[in-house]
Structure 1
């Protein structure tokens, strides 16, 4: 039997060997054995291609500002594995992880002997979260982020108070489909009968699929630029200001500290969900809590400025849409700077389109390898690029130390790509920057 936190985490990660196994049967089997904890929690379910984590954070921060205790289930982690299961933004303890694993492990072994086969890593973590949240004594509500797709995602055994689909992009096409419509069908699988769906999807074909699924489920639908919209948007030096209009009602001059116009859409979805929870009497959320919560919301690794002098930014832009958003912000905000991009990615992404966009905005681009099973080799990324100033590096840790020390006042270092890479690189960058400030 496992006796330490590290042994528990190693066992969870060992489940990666099973890969991705779509379907809900294994989750339903485990939930039945655990007394169906998923049925005992009030939840909001959030899917989409990009923006899920940010929307989770905006909504959590709004609810916290009103004084509620809020659980969140997110993936992947950026700074610490435990943050995937958190309460009021605080990751659960090492001891709690160990105890949860001790409870799930025998079930996983038993399930392995059935025709369903053993649970995947994500299914194990999801099962742990359901049990934890159902037995938490002070929890008011939980916000669940979909892991992959929606229809067959292990979180989709939920029957939430409301569902959110942030947007649709061409990501995980090898699993979810090759068109916006096919991917939208998988994402729309989280829409439940008579349960409202809030969405920022704007691609016409994808939105039509979501509308059709909502109609089949008799689910009220609230669409951006239809039932609600963003008006009077103004980019600030360290965030965004905007108004959310909901028919005859509006919430004026909201501010967020996250950078990018796309974040106003994620924030607007959180506002709509908060208003709905108040409307049905599940919670009571004031406009003051909405304002304070949005302003205080922080989500690591999303256009995050780690240092202003020198200017160092990290951004988990891990697909075509994410890169497009990053490129837009860089070209809008830092057009007068020398932009040095450091990029790492997983080899199963649409790398040619992503790199082509970065080539256009980067004065210098460096491709790096990192230690992850599906990581692309730096040399392979280099071959795709058409930049005149490009480089491939294997030892990214040493390279970043040298590059940061060489940055001048007109330069900006942007480290981007896979969220798995961002989770590795952020603590390293923070140590470099801290040591620089100490030595000054």
Structure 2
């Protein structure tokens, strides 16, 4: 790559922080579905995406955990793996990983310097400025294609599928976790519309693995699979799983697949993680059977057990016990409400939550309120935050129907003060939970674990 480097004084970004500030500055251009700008960028770079093998992962919830399981098992099996995920929870470089390590800051700066003049050219061409996510995606492709050379890239969609910029790639496998009501402002108001967007990652001849369960969504998936003349491995049809047991340290489930059955231990908590792990296992089985990605059984089992994904039913403090979970939509809330009483024993459940302003919060609250004793409403430190009082108004409207009659509601917009309230109210036999947008989870997690300020973001 050395011959392409220009004189240091000509480079726009002298430091890593400059480069990240530039990429994050593109957030003003928002989420603009469409592929023209990323296609133009790839053309200008000589199509580096064509030199890589991708496992493309879409879905409403569980994408990050599924990516984590697949990555860990393949690494355990001796493969080199790139992992591109969003949003990140502690640092901007988290989203570009190679063999479990973040992209080096200096590499990110160098690649940003290559991209900046191309982005300026596209902006002036009439296509408009590439967005923050488009530039991040281009940077990831450059990193994997020209610096890291992984055997495979685990590639998470940003939003939807069909018009998501990650859809620029032609993968070796497409994975769809589930479909729920999230980002309806961009993806559509019905399960069918959202399913059609997610099914947009299905490509001719590329096998599809999915844990989608709604009949109307399955119908759309099957139509897309047929249209693309490929094969579908669907939960409850071609493969299945059954949770056998679990406690505070983890859980065990049985995987039943078309090629073999196996019991797997995972440390990740919640029934939904059994679904994500089964989805990852079926994906790995397809890779093994048809693409020679062979992982020894002992290494496969170790990979599943060692998988960890920050901010997903993660106990970050033991005195008082505090669990953080990035459930931020109705499906996430349903999983959280079902999982907590199964995993933990507690007298009172104290829940602190903060949300962004663009979500279906009423449905979220309907799932979570029945198990909560004290509800602390706060606001994430983020530009699109939902006003804590407005969230309180929604709770007031529905609490009679869904909440315990003894529910206590506390409104504290400052999340640091809210966290102190949660800690002081959570006694030894109680459980404190922080839930909602990952922007809040990132800050609370950094605070409780004594990490430096998180650079959370999308």
TM-score interval, normalised by the smaller of the two chains: over 0.9
Report the Cα distance in structure 2 between the residues aligned to 1:412 and 1:358, rounded to whole angstroms.
Answer: 14
1:11 maps to 22
The aligned residue for residue 178 of structure 1 is 189
Distance in structure 1 (CA, Å) of the matches to 2:328 and 2:271: 18
Contact 1:235 1:260 in 2 (8 A): no
Alignment correspondent of 1:437: none
Residues 319-365 of structure 1, C-alpha deviation per residue, up to 9 Å, x if partnerless?
11001100111233346421110001111100111123222111000
Counterpart of 2:315 in structure 1 is 305
- The residue aligned with 2:264 is 254
Equivalent residues in 2 for 1:414-425 (5 A)?
414-425=433-444
Q: Where does 1:182-201 land on structure 2 (aligned, <5 Å)?
A: 182-201=193-212
Match of 1:377 among 377, 384, 387: 387
SS of 2:153 mapped into structure 1:
strand
Q: How far did 1:294 drift?
A: 0.2
Distance 1:72 1:219, change over 3 A: same
- Cα distance in 1 for partners of 2:100, 2:433 equals 26
In structure 2, the partner of 1:438 is none
* C-alpha displacement of 1:429: 1.7
1:109-258 aligned at under 5 Å gives the runs: 109-231=120-242, 233-247=244-258, 249-251=260-262, 253-258=263-268
Check the 8 A contact 1:75/1:84 in 2, yes or no. Answer: yes
Deviations 1:53-89 (A, max 9, x none): 0000000000011111110000000111100000122
C-alpha distance in 1, partners of 2:243/2:353?
A: 34
Name 1:294's counterpart in structure 2. Answer: 304
8 Å contact from structure 1 (residues 316, 422) kept in 2: yes
Q: CA deviation at 1:236?
A: 3.0
Match of 2:349 in 1: 339
Judged with a 3 Å threshold, the aligned counterparts in structure 2 of structure 1 residues 277 and 136 are, in CA distance, closer, same or farther, namely farther
Q: Structure 1 unaligned runs (5+)? A: 433-440
Count, aligned residues: 431
Partner SS state of residue 147, structure 2: coil
Which of 400, 404, 427 is 1:408 aligned to?
427
Task: Report the equivalent of 2:411.
Answer: 392
Contact 2:81/2:154 (CA < 8 Å) preserved in 1?
A: yes
Unaligned segments of structure 2, at least 5 residues: 1-11, 452-458
Q: Deviations for 1:193-218, whole angstroms, at most 9, x for unmatched residues? A: 01000000001101111111011001
Q: Which range moved further: 241-250 or 317-326?
A: 241-250
1:70-89 correspondence runs (5 A): 70-89=81-100
Aligned to 2:366: 356
Partner of 1:365: 375
Aligned-pair CA distance for 1:405: 4.5
- Rounded to whole Å, the distance in 1 between the matches of 2:123 and 2:112 is 16
Which deviates further from its counterpart, 280-289 or 223-232? 280-289
Match of 1:51 among 44, 62, 79: 62
* RMSD between aligned residues: 1.5
Deviation at 1:235, TM superposition (A): 2.4
Deviations 1:231-286 (A, max 9, x none): 353223322201111136211x2100000111111111111111221222342222
The whole-number CA distance in structure 1 between the counterparts of 2:365 and 2:171 is 38
Deviations 1:280-322 (A, max 9, x none): 2342222222211100000001001112332110000011100
1:33-52 matches, within 5 Å, as: 33-52=44-63
Alpha-carbon distance change, 248 to 91 in structure 1, aligned in 2, over 3 angstroms: closer
Residue 445 of structure 2 is aligned to residue 426 of structure 1: yes
For 2:415 and 2:317, the matched residues in 1 are separated by: 19
